[in-house]
Each structure stands twice: as C-alpha cells, then as structure tokens.
Amino acid sequence: MITRISLLAFVLISSTTFSQILSFDEVKFELGDIDDLAPISREVHYKNTGDKELTIERVKTSCGCTTSQLEKKVLQPDETGTLTVTFNPAGKKGNQLKNITFFSNDMSEKNKAISFTANIIPVINLEPRRIEFKLDKSGTSYDKNEVKFVIENLGKEIITIQDIKCSNENFLVSILDDSKIEIGGKLEVTVSIKSGFIPNKYTSSNIIVNAKIGEKTATRSVRVVVRPIQVTQK
C-alpha cells in the first residue's frame, strides 16, 4: 500500500509542469489600414511562464518585408522581454498576413508562431510591374520598339518624380509628361532598348523610380526583361 501511494505521488509530481514555457501577451495582432510609404513598427511582449530558464535560439519572419529585433534571448522564470516587429509595406497592396516564428527550448512546443495582418492602401502604383522584350525569329530585331508603364497617384498629395533610372545602360527610359503627378493622375513612362543591343542570353534589370510625396519619399521598381530567340534542337 505504501509502495502504491509513493508511486502515485511520483506520478503526480512528474506530471506537474517543471519546465520553461514561452508565452505571449498576444499571438495575433492587426496593423489595420496603412499606406505603402513608410515602415511601421509594433512591440510584442513575451514571457517565461515556466520555472526553468528559457532560451530563445532565433526568430524567423515569413518574408523579407518583415524584420524583428529581440530584446533578450535568455529569460528566467517570470521574466519578460520585448520583440520589435517592423513591417515594410513598400510595393504591396491589399490584405497581408505575416508570421513570426520563435525557436526556443520550450519543451512543450519548440517552434511557436505569432502573426499579424495589415491592409495596405497604396499611394503610388506602377502598372505593369514587369515588361518584356522578345527577339523575333531572325534574332536581329525585337517584337516591339518600346514598352510603356504608368505611375499612378492614388494618394491625397501631389507626387513629384525625382528620378527614374536603370542600372543597365542598354535600357532607355523617358518621361512623356511633367514629373509632377496630380491627385488621381497618371504619368506615362516609355522604355526602349539601345540600338545594337542584341543579347545572346536572358537579360533583366530593374527600372528604379524615386518619388517624393509631401515630406515622405518612396522608391518603386519595374522589372524589364529581354528574352533571346530560342533555338530548336533538331
């Protein structure tokens, strides 16, 4: 009888939590409606609710648009810490869902994730975001001489285009209108290829648009691609 009681006591003690536990004040949060001009930050509080030392090995975000800064990696029982999450909405629009995963020595769940949502209302929009030139069958000329994309002002202030440039000098960029875009207005940009440029392999580059909206600045890009003629093997 004594042996059974002792065994029962051991089982009860063993089933009691004696470990490190990673807990959060919130596992989901909302950034609400935001524009696409500047990064936005939010603090998340975490705590060791166990009775042993907690070690956070690393924190991973679900995309490059989100970064995180961990205040402390080692927490004693009942100790708290702060994670600063920064989300960069540039170039995005609509509803977004991002995850942040903690990797720790929490024995109950070594990988714990929190998430946040945001609805991005763009101020500056580029369409299309990707343009392409193709060589014709002769391999000496292109299917088109130029391609246009549009910069649209969706915000509540005038947009001033400071410069538009491409790192590859074989892609030429020109603006047909004034560099200022009124509210609700559009600016058409023409992209062409430098005479004599005939690549023998897939070539791509980014056209960078730098703009100013009020006191804020924004950088957006359009991908330009050249596809060489495909030779069919016989």
Nearest to 164 by CA among 187, 144, 182: 187
Q: What's the token pair of residue 202?
A: 């897939």
Which tokens belong to 150? Answer: 């549009």
User: Hey, what are 19's tokens?
Assistant: 């470990």
The predicted-structure confidence for 51-62, as pLDDT tens digits, reads as follows 999 999 999 999
Q: Which fold has domain 18-121?
A: Immunoglobulin-like (2.60.40)
The reply to whether domains 18-121 and 124-227 share a CATH topology is yes
pLDDT in tens, 106-137: 998 999 999 999 999 999 999 999 999 988 77
For residue 90, how far is the Cα from the chain centroid?
8
pLDDT given for residue 50 in this prediction: 93
Can you give the pTM of this predicted structure? 0.71
Q: Which residue, chain included where needed, has tokens 């509803």? A: 95
CA 63 – CA 98 distance, rounded (Å): 7
Confidence (pLDDT) at 7: 42
Give the per-residue pLDDT at 4: 52
232 contacts: CB under 8 Å, gap ≥ 6: none
Percent helix, percent strand, percent coil in the chain, to nearest 5:
5, 55, 40
In the chain, which stretches have pLDDT less than 70?
1-18, 176-177, 229-234
Bond preceding residue 122 cis, omega within 30 of 0: no
Q: Are 224 and 210 in contact (CB under 8 A)?
A: no
Q: Where are the domains of the chain?
A: 18-121, 124-227
DSSP codes joined into one string, 109-166: -SEEEEEEEEEEE-SEEEE-SEEEEEB-TTSSSBS-SEEEEEEEE-SSS-EEEEEEEE
CATH 3.30.40.10 for domain 124-227, yes or no, is: no
